[in-house]
């Protein structure tokens, strides 16, 4: 698994900000919008969310295939790079399936009318994407994706468990009914926006409480704003917990 982005909707550095994190020379303090890519045992490349930074992420981290897209939700920082997948259509000569909950798929149809209602559209290239509604676990190759319902403020969204790994971004709460889906997770990537509470994201303290309850072997925090400088924050986190960073590669058991 490769972490493509670990930042908030603003990204880090933020436009117009000259704080210590935004002006840092540590490359781990540069955070594009949150996304990961998972490679299945057969070599299928599964992209989780299509951020506005998808093109630069793909170039920086040499993502040469996208065989499927899995969406957590349809906020702009998670869907506004969908047009970039037309390059993969051209290279792979095939459409790409995209999985998401009903609200996310409806939002994609509305935002990207030219993709999903292409009658009369000519020139420029149109992404070839087929939408698949997530109603339960599904397989991509031999990897089983288990949707984990989360709350992002008042909005229900999805995290995903794949084998012993779970990716839970943009969440403020894990509903009680979702905890059994995470039992036995050994590696976790979890939302942690900042130290102070936020209405739609976990704080660092809230994320650490979840990590303590799940007790994974390793946990990485993601979707972080500029309030969390990488080195200084990692230095005070508990053993086995650290900030993720763009370009982090992890071996996960699928």
Give the number of domains in the chain. 1
For residue 249, tell me if it sits in a domain. Answer: no
Q: For the domain that residue 89 is a member of, what is the CATH number?
A: 3.60.15.10
Give the full edge-to-edge strand order of the sheet including 218-222: 138-140, 143-152, 155-162, 165-168, 187-191, 218-222, 241-243
Count of all residues that appear for the chain in the document: 254
What pLDDT score does 117 carry? 87
Q: Residue 87 belongs to what domain range?
A: 2-243
Average pLDDT, the chain: 96
pLDDT digits over 44-96, tens only?
999 999 999 999 999 999 999 999 999 999 999 999 999 999 999 999 999 99
What pLDDT score does 120 carry? 58
pLDDT of residue 122 exceeding 70:
no
For residue 86, tell me if it sits in a domain. Answer: yes
What pLDDT score does 183 carry? 97
pTM for this prediction: 0.96
* Percent of the chain topping pLDDT 90: 96
For residue 251, tell me if it sits in a domain. Answer: no
pLDDT of residue 231 exceeding 70:
yes
For residue 248, tell me if it sits in a domain. Answer: no
pLDDT digits over 128-162, tens only?
999 999 999 999 999 999 999 999 999 999 999 99
């Amino acid at each position: 698994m490769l972490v493509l982005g670990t930042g908030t909707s603003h990204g880090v550095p933020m436009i117009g900000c000259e704080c210590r994190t935004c002006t840092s020379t540590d490359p781990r303090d540069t955070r594009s919008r949150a996304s990961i890519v998972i490679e299945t045992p057969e070599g299928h490349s599964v992209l989780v969310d299509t951020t506005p930074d998808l093109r630069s992420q793909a170039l920086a981290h040499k993502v040469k295939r996208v065989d499927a897209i899995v969406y957590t939700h349809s906020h702009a920082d998670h869907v506004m790079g969908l047009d970039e997948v037309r390059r993969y259509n051209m290279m792979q000569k095939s459409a790409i399936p995209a999985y998401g909950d009903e609200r996310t798929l409806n939002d994609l149809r509305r935002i990207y009318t030219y993709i999903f209602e292409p009658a009369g559209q000519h020139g420029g290239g149109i992404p070839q994407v087929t939408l698949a509604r997530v109603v339960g676990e599904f397989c991509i190759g031999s990897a089983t994706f288990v949707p984990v319902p989360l709350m992002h403020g008042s909005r229900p969204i999805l995290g995903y468990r794949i084998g012993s790994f779970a990716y839970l971004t943009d969440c403020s709460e894990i509903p009680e009914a979702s905890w059994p889906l995470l039992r036995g997770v050994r590696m976790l990537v979890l939302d942690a926006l900042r130290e102070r509470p936020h209405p739609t994201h976990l704080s660092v303290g809230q994320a650490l409480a979840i990590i303590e309850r799940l007790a994974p072997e390793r946990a990485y925090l993601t979707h972080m704003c500029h309030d969390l400088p990488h080195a200084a924050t990692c230095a005070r986190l508990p053993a086995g917990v650290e900030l993720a960073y763009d370009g982090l590669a992890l071996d996960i058991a699928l």
